[in-house]
């Protein structure tokens, strides 16, 4: 597992929980499977740029927030 993917996944999960969304609901809103979102949040898979933008849009945050802590 890539450290950057883990940080990105952790940031996505934290924002999702902060916005009181389930994985199922966020996945539905960005048109991916719940299992794909789970892989992203666990850092196993990295999202495409387009999915990252969609996640930020649904969470109503600047995309930079998703990459916070990645060097």
Q: What predicted TM-score, i.e. pTM, was given to this entire model?
A: 0.94
The per-residue pLDDT for 20 is: 98
Which domains are seen in the chain, by residue range? 3-64 (1.10.260.40)
Q: How far apart are CA 27 and CA 7, in angstroms?
A: 19
Q: Which pLDDT belongs to residue 50? A: 97
pLDDT of amino acid 3 = 95
Q: What's the pLDDT score for residue 71?
A: 87
Spatial separation of the C-alpha atoms in residues 24 and 43, rounded to whole Å: 17
pLDDT tens-digit series, residues 1-54? 689 999 999 999 999 999 999 999 999 999 999 999 999 999 999 999 999 999
Distance of CA 61 to the CA centre of its chain: 11
Query: Which pLDDT does position 1 carry in this prediction?
Result: 63
Closest CA to 29 of 53, 11, 10: 53
Which pair of structure tokens corresponds to residue 7? Answer: 């940080």
Residue that has been written with the tokens 């998703």 in this structure? 66
């Amino acid at each position: 597992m890539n450290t950057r993917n883990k940080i990105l996944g952790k940031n996505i999960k934290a924002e999702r929980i902060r916005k009181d969304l389930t994985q199922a609901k966020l996945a539905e809103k960005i048109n991916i499977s719940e299992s794909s979102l789970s892989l992203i949040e666990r850092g196993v898979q990295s999202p495409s740029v387009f999915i990252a933008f969609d996640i930020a849009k649904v969470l109503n945050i600047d995309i930079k927030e998703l990459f916070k802590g990645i060097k």
